[in-house]
Homo-oligomer: A and B are copies of this chain.
């Protein structure tokens, strides 16, 4: 009798365990949602769509960003407090967490997926870590001038050929970092690129790095195919028209987007989206929109552009048709739409509506709401297909 009971219990346990083993979780349709005030992230499935789990204990997630491992199993979360957390999307837990600096702004993952790079404000510099263990590989202080000061580092991205690119806010520099030997990275510094670069972007093909300038107009541009040509200035009229102009939020350059032959850009302090001809860098059109744009994001097929706005217009989202640059839709998703993330092939978009404590999912063809998911002050949404992209 005891035999049978034990056997039965063991069998039940085995079935449970085996059942877990036979319902594995693929990673192609996963994502994470940053819940900034609670220092947690949700792991989500974009097919259902639904929340799968919540992982807590990630520290200060204001201004957090995320990259994914090459196999899409791990999300690396860069926190404002210098925390670097490696989250296991299959086990719903923190696989590893370190605090690597005092004040951090973002990070990137190398082309081969083996190196995590973090850009730090305090102490200013770039650090490289082993993506598997988070063991330190290299520390590159952003020293500038004659007295050993350290610059805040911003706009860090990965580039083809195991390289990273970043900008030094206080030093007016762009750095091209070759990390083929990650314990001895080689830095090529481009100096006097313009005053106070505050953010950077890499074009989707990994060729051009552009830094936005806080201290003057225009953008600093580096052609990674021809770095010997140095940094040039483009879009000389881009920036604040007026020092007194109230700017509610300096737009991130990651809020820029390439759609076919056009570059679409949030105007600074203006209720406008700028259309720039990629060929000659000339302003082709100004599109009047509902507020100061923050993210100007192309649907993956490039036909539609979704725009969100700074306070006090951040309850609105507008959609522009690239065919004729007309406004085709104005949505009111809720209070404080902070971020938008498209599904990989663009049939859906997820919106983080912070002050309504929810995420809304829209059908991008019909603009109808597909789902609303509860979330605690969601601020950023990141899907695993980012693992495949250059320059994020």
Chain A interface (Cβ < 8 Å from any Cβ of B): 2-3, 6-7, 10-11, 13-14, 17-18, 20-22, 24-29, 47, 68-73, 89-91, 111-113, 160-162, 205-207, 225-226, 260, 300-303, 323, 344-347, 365, 384-385, 387-390
Q: Is the CB of A17 within 8 A of B10?
A: no
**A91 contacts which chain B residues (CB < 8 A)?**
22, 24
Q: Is the CB of A225 within 8 A of B388?
A: no
Can you identify 9 A-B contacts, CB atoms within 8 angstroms? A10-B11, A10-B14, A17-B21, A26-B69, A26-B90, A29-B71, A160-B347, A205-B302, A207-B303
Determine the residue in chain B with the shortest Cβ distance to A261: B279
Q: Assess A301 versus B207: contact at CB under 8 Å? Given A28-B384, A29-B72, A111-B346.
A: yes
Q: Closest CB-CB distance, A314 to chain B, in whole Å?
A: 28
Inter-chain CA distance A390–B72, complex, in Å, is: 20
Q: Assess A390 versus B6: contact at CB under 8 Å? Given A24-B24, A73-B26, A161-B365.
A: no
**A347 contacts which chain B residues (CB < 8 A)?**
111-112, 160, 162
Which of B17, B25, B205 lies in contact with A18, CB distance below 8 A?
B17
Inter-chain CA distance A47–B112, complex, in Å, is: 8
Chain A contact surface mostly: loop
Inter-chain CA distance A261–B303, complex, in Å, is: 18
Instruction: Output the residue of A18, A25, A28 with the most chain B CB within 10 A.
Output: A28
Q: Is the CB of B206 within 8 A of A301?
A: yes
Q: Is the CB of B29 within 8 A of A26?
A: no
Determine the residue in chain B with the shortest Cβ distance to A89: B26
Q: Assess A160 versus B207: contact at CB under 8 Å? Given A26-B27, A29-B70, A387-B28.
A: no
Inter-chain CA distance A25–B25, complex, in Å, is: 8
Known contacts A28-B71, A29-B71, A47-B71; 20 additional CB pairs below 8 A are: A3-B6, A14-B17, A20-B21, A26-B27, A26-B73, A27-B27, A27-B71, A28-B68, A28-B69, A28-B70, A72-B72, A112-B345, A160-B347, A205-B260, A206-B302, A207-B301, A345-B389, A345-B390, A385-B388, A388-B388
Which of B2, B11, B25, B73 lies in contact with A28, CB distance below 8 A?
B73
Instruction: Output the residue of A160, A302, A385 with the most chain B CB within 10 A.
Output: A160
Q: Closest CB-CB distance, A333 to chain B, in whole Å?
A: 21
Inter-chain CA distance A302–B224, complex, in Å, is: 12
Determine the residue in chain B with the shortest Cβ distance to A22: B91
Q: Closest CB-CB distance, A240 to chain B, in whole Å?
A: 32
**A13 contacts which chain B residues (CB < 8 A)?**
10, 14
Inter-chain CA distance A365–B163, complex, in Å, is: 12
